[in-house]
Structure 1
Amino acid sequence: MALPSVGTRVTYPAGDLIARARVLHVEPVATDDGERLAVLLDTTSIHPVDAGWPDQPADAGVITVIDGAALTVLDAIVAATDGETLHLGRDIPVRKGTEGWAFVVAHLVDAGSAIAEGDEVETRADALLRASLSRGHTACHLASLALNRALADRWTKDPRRDPLGSPDFDAAAIASSRIEPNGSVDRYRLNKSLRRAGFDATVFTGEYGADELRAAEASIDDTLATWIAGGGDIRIERDGDLLTDRRQWAADLEGGTARLFCGGTHATSLADLGDVRVRLELVDDDGTPTLVMTTRAHAPS
Structure 2
Amino acid sequence: MGISSGSTSRPSGRRARLKRSQEDSANSRAHVPCREGDGSVNGAHDENVFYPHRVASLPSYVPRPVGRALNAALHAGLAVVDRVGEIAPGTRAAARFGSFGQGTSIGFPPATLMNTGAIHLGSDTLIGRHVTLSAGYGPLDERDLERTLVIGDRCVIGARCSFAAHELIEIGDGVWFGQDVFVCDASHGYRDPHMPIGEQFGAHAPVRIGSGTWIGHGAIVLPGTTIGCNVAVAAGSVVRGEIPDHSVVAGVPARVIRRLENGVGWVGAHGDVREVLDGRIGATG
Q: TM-score, normalised by structure 1?
A: 0.21
The structure with more helix, counted as a fraction of residues? 1
Please state which structure has a larger fraction of its residues in strand. 1
